[in-house]
Structure 1
Amino acid sequence: MGIEGVGSADLGKVEFNETTLPMTLRATLTDALDRIGKRHSDHGLLITVDETQGANVSDLRALATAVQHLIREERNIAVAFAGLPGMTSSLLHDNVITFLRRAMPVELEDISLGLVSDAFEEVITANGGAITPEALQIATEATHGYPFMIQLVGYNIWRKASGSVIDAGAARAGVEAARIRLGGTVHEPAIEDLSSVDRTYLLAMAQDQGPSRTGDIAQRLGKDPQYAGRYRERLIQAGIIYPSAYGYVDFTIPYLRQWLQEHAATLMLGGN
């Protein structure tokens, strides 16, 4: 684990070993806060952690320990974590990372497709490119307004263009590349820690082309509705599915249904 300063408060770069990590990290952060305070008495230190669900738990514990000490000392420090919705269910039950329970959760909602379309067109034009109306519609609708998918689609349609103009072919190729990337970076991490029954529930859902009726899922599982309902609630709490209507559930993450269909055999063999 390392920490590297950015901007006016240059922290330098420090490497930590696992044994002394909490104490070394606390000392490093204290030194950084002292230096920031000397230059700007009203400034503090913000630590951001991205892809938290894939972070090393030992590193998170060390960070939590160091930050909690500094908070007790009333130092001007804050931490922002970003990750999949389901990460809180596992991290909040960790004995050391309990200070996350006092954090303010902010769940990002899907972005309207109108804004997505405008953003694509503005960024592409500002960088000397162009996109056809058909390609813009394909790219926009493929994102489903999902923030990370917007990034992936935008990046990949630009790469797939043969020249300065992004046409429908480049858009379709870029969307497919983005979908595959989403599978490896979002779908797989979201599923890998689920139990075999959780996965079976999701695979039962994946048999439908749209929202699934909870009664049908229970029937496919060969269980009574009350039994299936327990796993429904677990998956809702994990941010994997949501109740789309009374008696129906659907997937929260775009393209998860298709990813489950493609990986069904592997998931059944790899259950816990």
Structure 2
Amino acid sequence: MDSLRNPYTPNAGATPEIVAGRLEHTRAFEVLLQRLMRGRTEQSMIMTGLRGVGKTVLLNEFADLGRAARWEIVELEASKHDDGQFRQTMASLLRSALLQMSPRKRWGGRARQAAEVLTSFGMSVTQNGTWSVSWDVEPAEGLGDHGDLALDLTDVLVAVGRAAQDQERGVAILVDEVQFLRSAQLEALIQALHKTVQRKLPITFVGAGLPQIAELAGDAKSYAERLFRFPEIGSLDEDDAREALIRPAELEDATYSGEAVELALEITKGYPYFIQELGYQAWEIAPGPQITADDVDAAREGYLAKLDRSFFRVRLDRATALQTAYLRAMAELGPSAQKASDVARVLRRESTQLGPTRAELIDMGLLYTPEHGYAAFTVPDFDQFMLRAVPQLVIPEVRRRQRRETDGADA
């Protein structure tokens, strides 16, 4: 069929033509904004799930909903920045939000105070010891300048929240890849949000990340479980998966046979990104206007090749030989969460020897820990990819430390 009319969007974070099965989450976000604007409190949310289940798509949907409700949207993809870089990024984004809500020439007392607190928060010491600020607003005294990220960010969000309240507006901070925030940064966001909740200000923080986020948030602040809901975003149920596959084609006057749908759902297991990729490949192959089971079966090879080349491979390419062996050993044991001792047995090592490797893979976002002593892949079907990409398990030799010879003979 015509490639220009292909309705599927297998791109990272791209919103598909039909967002199926996520109505409860978008509705919860709308309720959150509406309650905050009424001066009531409501739990914010941090969505958790594997790669490819549509967390980023949902954040984009939230951003659109927020803008439609006249909220200022602060969007951030977390990365492993130090606290100084994080501070500067937040200062810049919140400054922009303040100016969008209240142009400088119309600043009232609360907007000006928010600007002054942002100046204090965004100040940094350069290498030669001088202060640098990002705009010509005098810093506030005693606010946003404690030198403690959590205290300073709290001052900022309270000040910006008050300014938003004056304008009958709100600010939503949407953070993707939350697991890459440093613990101090996550703690600062949670602590600052806690204070805005106490003051009933129209400001919220909504995040998305890998499954370990709920635990990380709880470790950062014990009251996080009361501030947030932690909805788990997973594969679509059968009805929603059917809708995600069929409806985009129908918008372009194409259909699927019943057998084609069943085969597609069997291959993709209901994962939203996989549905988009298989749908895209099947569209390219099918003569149309009906996509048949033969078309889907013929598309399978291109579908796997594309996933291997992009979705999977970019993650494996960052791994060392030992990290690759660890992932391959896990794949040999199966797709479910694997006990550290079992992986070590496959690699003919002790668990303690492989502890650092396992921790590195978790830090890289390739594994997560669903329970103590276990690790699981963060990407659906990654075990099958590892078996294809590394047909033979190669176990690196143990590197033994060489003894350093001491100078001179025995004393």
CA spacing shift, 1:268–1:7, aligned 2, 3 Å: farther
Do the aligned partners of 1:26 and 1:67 also contact (CA within 8 Å) in 2?
no
Question: Residue 273 of structure 2: which of 141, 148, 170 is its match?
Answer: 148
1:9 matches 2:70: yes
State the structure with more CA Rg.
2
Q: Separation in 2 of the partners of 1:250 and 1:69?
A: 32
Paired residues in the alignment total: 249
Do the aligned partners of 1:30 and 1:70 also contact (CA within 8 Å) in 2?
no
CA spacing shift, 1:193–1:69, aligned 2, 3 Å: farther
Further displaced range: 135-144 or 26-35: 26-35
Tell me how large the CA RMSD over aligned residues is.
Answer: 5.3
Do the aligned partners of 1:204 and 1:221 also contact (CA within 8 Å) in 2?
yes
Q: Give the aligned partner of residue 328 of structure 2.
A: 203
Do the aligned partners of 1:46 and 1:78 also contact (CA within 8 Å) in 2?
yes
- Give runs of aligned pairs for residues 193-272 of structure 1, distance below 5 A: 197-207=322-332, 217-224=343-350, 226-227=351-352, 240=367, 253-264=379-390
Q: Give the aligned partner of residue 134 of structure 2.
A: none
Do the aligned partners of 1:25 and 1:66 also contact (CA within 8 Å) in 2?
no
Question: Residue 170 of structure 2: which of 41, 44, 47 is its match?
Answer: 44
CA spacing shift, 1:112–1:132, aligned 2, 3 Å: same
Q: Give the aligned partner of residue 157 of structure 1.
A: 282
Do the aligned partners of 1:51 and 1:84 also contact (CA within 8 Å) in 2?
yes
CA spacing shift, 1:251–1:104, aligned 2, 3 Å: same
DSSP-derived class of the 1:79 partner: strand
Q: Give the aligned partner of residue 125 of structure 1.
A: 250
TM-score by length of 2: 0.44
Q: Greater relative contact order: 1 or 2 (C-alpha under 8 angstroms, separation 6 or more)?
A: 2
CA displacement, residues 68-126 of structure 1 (integer Å, 9 cap, x when unaligned): 7677465422222224336788x87xxxxx57993543322332334423542344335
Counterpart residue identity of residue 141, structure 1: E
Structure 1 residue ranges without an equivalent (≥5): 93-97
Counterpart residue identity of residue 203, structure 1: R
DSSP-derived class of the 1:81 partner: strand
CA spacing shift, 1:126–1:218, aligned 2, 3 Å: same
DSSP-derived class of the 2:68 partner: coil
Q: Give the aligned partner of residue 237 of structure 2.
A: 112
Counterpart residue identity of residue 261, structure 1: L
CA spacing shift, 1:38–1:241, aligned 2, 3 Å: closer
Matched-pair identity in %: 23
1:167 matches 2:235: no
TM-score by length of 1: 0.60
Question: Residue 25 of structure 1: which of 93, 106, 112 is its match?
Answer: 93
CA spacing shift, 1:72–1:166, aligned 2, 3 Å: same
Q: Separation in 2 of the partners of 1:24 and 1:49?
A: 15
Q: Separation in 2 of the partners of 1:29 and 1:99?
A: 27
Counterpart residue identity of residue 386, structure 2: L
